[in-house]
Chains A and B, each alone.
Chain A
């Protein structure tokens, strides 16, 4: 089941196959959660957004135009729900121009639940939490496994495809800067 394609899993799930659906959830729930948290949603809001994204997929089973790209479909749906939540709370919706901006609330980064015992890891987590939302969302998409294509990423973020490479570069450099990573090879 783990080697089934997205299209095969979607097709089976559309027929009511719970195991196929579970496999889809396991494949993409990390990505959905990741995007919600990158938008600085609380755990409760992120859980709501996640649930909505998956329910939207359920109601569209059998209707997805490009089943292999269901990851991008989920990512886009998740992002749209995040923007709704942000609007509801009166926060500013992040735009294109804010790659270099500080995130709006500079209080302590979300707790790492005490699992990051390595100080370098903890520093990297703090640094990641302090870069702009725009960068966090992009990097979370790039980190996702399976990694979405640049085409899918620009569909999610509404960026022109040519700007993903340079923006990724700026975001990673910003992250290096914040984490004190001076070596080009990425070792802190």
Chain B
């Protein structure tokens, strides 16, 4: 899909070219951002089922939109055909605390993957779990339900 060559488009292309140079010089991608992106391949998993983000209170227009200073927790719901993972994110300032519930309720091993590394917690006999000290930034949960032969479930990365 190309534009027809004419004077105006040549001028536009020249300007875009100048912009590209200027913007690239003025605001390049920081090296550490590129390195972090490259390193993210280590989070690749081949055996997990990816859950769907079914609900994010941040995008719920029906809720009163709060500012950062209000302490209403963020609510997330992730779903696969067999499992639902509900998470409440409590802002503790420098860290986040996650309060989770698995449905159907039951024990599970939970790995909280976050920018600080990995936090391992267990969900109790009614499927509740808590994870403290979660770093602000992208988070993904990897849940292995006890006793089930099924693949572990991973939640899509969400910034908390």
Contacts and interface: CB of A to CB of B under 8 A. Distances in A.
B44 A124 contact: no
Interface string B55-96: 010110000010110000000000000000000000000000
Interface string B1-43: 1010001101110111011111111111110111011101101
For the complex, would chain A's binding face be called helix, strand, loop or mixed by DSSP majority?
Answer: helix
B159 interface: yes
Interface stretch (A25-33, A64-72, A97-105): A25-33
Contacts of A22: 38
B50 interface: yes
Contacts of A142: 16
Nearest to A28: B37
A155 to B, nearest CB: 13
Contacts of B157: 52, 55-56, 59
A95 to B, nearest CB: 14
Contacts of A49: 159
B26 A56 contact: no
B130 interface: no
Interface of B: 1, 3, 7-8, 10-12, 14-16, 18-30, 32-34, 36-38, 40-41, 43-45, 50, 56, 58-59, 65, 67-68, 115, 137-138, 140, 154, 156-159
Contacts of A110: 26-27
Given A16-B44, A58-B41, A172-B15, 13 more contacts: A29-B29, A29-B33, A32-B37, A43-B30, A50-B33, A52-B157, A58-B44, A90-B67, A116-B25, A125-B22, A128-B19, A128-B22, A172-B12
A175 interface: yes
Contacts of B30: 33, 43, 47
Contacts of A151: 1
A143 interface: yes
Given A81-B159, A124-B19, A184-B8, A51 B137 contact: yes
A55 B103 CA distance: 26
Contacts of B27: 33-34, 37, 110, 112
Interface in A81-101: 81, 84-85, 87-90
A157 B52 CA distance: 23
A8 B74 CA distance: 39
Size category of the A interface is 35 or more
A43 B28 CA distance: 11
A37 B154 CA distance: 29
A149 interface: yes
A76 to B, nearest CB: 14
A13 interface: yes
Given A59-B50, A87-B59, A186 B23 contact: no
14 contacts: A32-B37, A33-B27, A34-B23, A51-B36, A51-B115, A55-B157, A56-B157, A61-B44, A81-B159, A90-B65, A112-B25, A121-B18, A125-B23, A185-B11
